[in-house]
Amino acid sequence: MNATDRTPADLLRSALAADPGRPFVTFYDDATGERVELSVATFANWVAKTANLLQGDLAAGPGDRLALLLPAHWQSAVWLLAAASVGVVVEIGGDPGDADLVVSGPDTLEEARACSGERVALALRPLGGRFPQPPAGFADYAVEVPSQGDRFAPFVPVDPEGPALVVGGLELSYAQLVERAREDAAALGLGPGERVLTGEGYDTWDGLSAGLFAPLVTGGSVVLCRHLDRLSEQGLAQRVESERVTRTLGR
């Protein structure tokens, strides 16, 4: 990645320019057997579509606060980068009643109804599938996102010093987020092309760093595993080998 990159959106653009075809996020759900692999280009396309949905249909802009009520999941990673592309502040597990908009999984819909602004629901079904019946009061992400544009340009340039993320009591600007991810990657000894497997959640900075931002900042990739505790030691060893994992974190 380039030393001049100061926001997550900058990092993603650099990754796309360097090698769009390489794997970036490989997601496993060991409760359902789901496996999804997204190249840098495919991931960036999802981010662009989601950012267009966020900025256009949902009328969100810099400084607006988004309560993200999602587990560690490839679609959560997409929302984090989409919000960063628009300048929207993401509050992981934030109070929907205090947020301008909320993005919820299927298990937190009642909690998410406290948001008086826009509400988006994700079914978190394999291959990004939609709800069999859209939840009342919510836009179904899987219905709304496919028709969005494949290219994104923010109405207002994102300020690297603007507020970006609130997680576990930690508040970071975009520049601070990128710098902290660089520091984490250095402390872990992560280099270019590193392939990190993690079962950590996205509800802490350490989980977000291991499962998205540290691999992004180093030009690596992540094997993101939900319900990893259901996988046997033998199964984990087989996954490490088959996915060519170079570092395992958060088992």
Please write the tens of the pLDDT for every residue from 208-242.
999 999 999 999 999 999 999 999 999 999 999 99
- d(CA 193, CA 68) in angstroms, rounded, equals 29
pLDDT of residue 86 exceeding 90: yes
pLDDT of residue 134 exceeding 70: yes
Which amino acid makes up residue 110?
E
Average pLDDT over residues 87-115: 98
- Model confidence at 16, pLDDT cuts 50, 70, 90, reads very high
Average pLDDT over residues 67-71: 98
Q: What is the domain partition of the chain in residue ranges?
A: 8-249
- Model confidence at 29, pLDDT cuts 50, 70, 90, reads very high
- Model confidence at 81, pLDDT cuts 50, 70, 90, reads very high
- d(CA 142, CA 87) in angstroms, rounded, equals 22
Q: Which CATH class is domain 8-249?
A: alpha beta
Q: Which residues contact 35 (CB under 8 A, 6 or more apart)?
A: 26, 27, 28
pLDDT at 1: 63
pTM of the full structure? 0.97
Q: Which residues contact 24 (CB under 8 A, 6 or more apart)?
A: 15, 38, 39, 40, 43, 215, 216, 221, 222
Average pLDDT over residues 85-108: 98
pLDDT at 146: 96
pLDDT at 127: 84
Mean of per-residue pLDDT scores for the chain: 96
Helices (H), the chain: 8-18, 40-52, 74-86, 109-112, 141-144, 174-188, 205-208, 214-218, 233-242
Q: Read off the pLDDT of residues 165-213 as tens digits, 9 standing for 90 and up.
A: 999 999 999 999 999 999 999 999 999 999 999 999 999 999 999 999 9
pLDDT of residue 48 exceeding 70: yes
- Model confidence at 243, pLDDT cuts 50, 70, 90, reads very high
- d(CA 74, CA 44) in angstroms, rounded, equals 12
- Model confidence at 251, pLDDT cuts 50, 70, 90, reads low
Average pLDDT over residues 10-31: 96
pLDDT at 122: 98
Query: Pairing relation of β-strands 170-173 and 163-167?
Result: antiparallel
